[in-house]
């Protein structure tokens, strides 16, 4: 019986002080996936890091994945930035444009959020601050510098958060009032505003540094990313899916007349020499499967299938989803 795995990509154009983690892992009962601060997905610097069960062990089925962005300026010059396997094959730099030493990942779990809410609801005071929640890069977070050792202006603070108490609603992240991280509503691929993933990673990266991969002028852009999973043993689709959201803002001084976005994905289902690929245009669904019923890399009769499903949500200048262009 073949096992199905989904990678769902959303792309959206948008007008305790310690050593910062440069990666974090998303984990379900079926998947263990690495997210890097510079935007490279499902890899370390040498191997793939999207692990799924293979017999009594785990094996990676993706070598690497990442975002490619390009366009043209008014003079007809091609601008492009892309990424592949390692920092040496990436045109992006981890962190926020213009803010040194800001490259890192922020990870929070549903268990941490539930503990935070319980703490606050007991007496209206957060007695045990959780670093993952108090250091979250939400707009207006007064605790951000204390936990991250750099200042983040509101123009860069695009991590999602929930303000559950209407009396304190002011569009600023105030964790001391019981507010907590969540998906950015305009980028929520599930389209259920209150939904909180079981594990959520926020990361940011930008172009403008050394062009290691594409030998053109860089496409000037700031990118914000969210990667998340759900622990749903009763729902095979969610249990076997990783969701990734990108938002980007063009940072060029000259107008770009065109822009194209693509997702690079090097899928290796065991032995990569016998993998087939397909695309269902009416569903915008890309898939990879083994060419026969067995795989030389050890899956016997259970070689997995992997699907990549892109979503595209244009948003307004106010950051809200726009249903049509």
CB-based contact 95:102 (threshold 8 Å): yes
If the chain, 325 residues long, is cut into consecutive pieces of 10 residues, what is the mean pLDDT of each piece?
57 49 91 95 92 80 93 88 89 94 96 96 96 97 96 94 88 95 65 73 91 87 94 84 91 86 89 86 89 70 81 55 47
What local confidence, expressed as pLDDT, does residue 106 receive? Answer: 97
What local confidence, expressed as pLDDT, does residue 27 receive? Answer: 92
What local confidence, expressed as pLDDT, does residue 208 receive? Answer: 83
Strand bridging mode 305-312 / 4-13: parallel
Tokens found for residue 17: 């002080």
Dihedral-angle region of residue 140 (phi above 0 means left; psi in -120 to 50 means alpha; beta otherwise) = left
Q: Which residues pair with 319 in a beta bridge?
A: none
Nearest CA to 304 among 53, 29, 27?
53
| Angle subtended at Cα 28 by Cα 312 and Cα 49, rounded to the nearest 5 degrees | 75
Give the whole-angstrom CA distance, residue 72 versus residue 90: 20
The number of beta carbons lying within 10 Å of the beta carbon of residue 3 is 17
What local confidence, expressed as pLDDT, does residue 81 receive? Answer: 93
DSSP states of 141-204:
-TTHHHHHSS---TTT----EE---GGG-SSS--GGGT-EE---GGG-TT--TT---SEEEEEE
């Amino acid at each position: 019986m073949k096992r199905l795995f989904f990678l769902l990509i959303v792309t959206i154009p948008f007008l305790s002080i310690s050593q910062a983690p440069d990666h974090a892992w998303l984990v379900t009962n079926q998947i263990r996936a690495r997210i890097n601060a510079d935007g490279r997905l499902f890899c370390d610097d040498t191997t793939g890091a999207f692990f799924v069960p293979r017999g009594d062990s785990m094996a990676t089925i993706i070598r690497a994945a990442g975002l490619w962005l390009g366009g043209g300026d008014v003079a007809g010059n091609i601008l492009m930035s892309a990424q592949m396997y390692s920092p040496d094959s990436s045109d992006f730099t981890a962190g926020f444009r213009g803010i040194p030493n800001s490259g890192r990942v922020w990870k929070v779990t549903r268990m941490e959020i539930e503990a935070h809410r319980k703490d606050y609801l007991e007496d209206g005071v957060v007695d045990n601050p959780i670093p993952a929640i108090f250091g979250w890069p939400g707009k207006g977070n007064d605790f951000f510098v204390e936990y991250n050792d750099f200042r983040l202006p509101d123009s860069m603070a695009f991590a999602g958060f929930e303000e559950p108490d209407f009396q304190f609603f002011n569009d600023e992240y105030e964790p001391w009032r019981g507010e907590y991280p969540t998906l950015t509503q305009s980028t929520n691929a599930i389209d259920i505003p209150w939904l909180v993933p079981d594990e959520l990673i926020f990361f940011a990266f930008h172009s403008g540094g050394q062009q290691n991969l594409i030998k053109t002028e860089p496409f000037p852009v700031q990118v914000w990313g969210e990667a998340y999973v759900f622990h749903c043993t009763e729902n095979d689709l969610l249990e076997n899916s990783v969701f990734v959201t990108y938002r980007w803002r063009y940072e060029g001084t000259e107008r770009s007349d065109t822009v194209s976005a693509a997702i690079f994905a090097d899928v290796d289902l065991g032995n990569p020499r016998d993998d087939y690929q397909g695309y269902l245009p009416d569903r915008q669904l890309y898939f990879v499967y083994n060419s026969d019923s067995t795989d030389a890399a050890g899956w016997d009769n259970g070689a997995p299938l992997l699907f990549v499903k892109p979503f595209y949500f244009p948003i307004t200048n106010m950051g809200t989803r726009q249903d049509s262009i």
